[in-house]
Amino acid sequence: MSSPHWMASSPPPPVPAAEEASDPMAKPTLQLSSLPPIFVSESHLDTCELHELEDDVVEAGGLLSTT
């Protein structure tokens, strides 16, 4: 019987994602337009955080629920 012969090799270097390569600080694109209206509860957010989150939802194509 012959013993198995293993070839030593290094794994290939990681390939950066397209968005990481162009701008490491870029936010991933989020599309909420196909979802039903979204209710954002203010129970754990201050007023500024609430409005910022609501703005982010609208910028991503989402609709805000009023109830």
pTM above 0.95, yes or no: no
Say what the pLDDT of residue 2 is.
Answer: 52
pLDDT at 3 over 90: no
Q: Is residue 21 part of a domain?
A: no
Alpha helices in 1-67 (DSSP H): 18-22, 47-59
Two tokens at 66? 């009023």
Q: Is residue 16 part of a domain?
A: no
Q: How many domains does the chain have?
A: 1
Q: Is residue 50 part of a domain?
A: yes
Q: Is residue 4 part of a domain?
A: no
Q: Is residue 1 part of a domain?
A: no
Domain housing 64: 29-67
pLDDT tens digits for range 14-53: 655 554 556 667 766 889 999 999 999 999 999 999 999 9
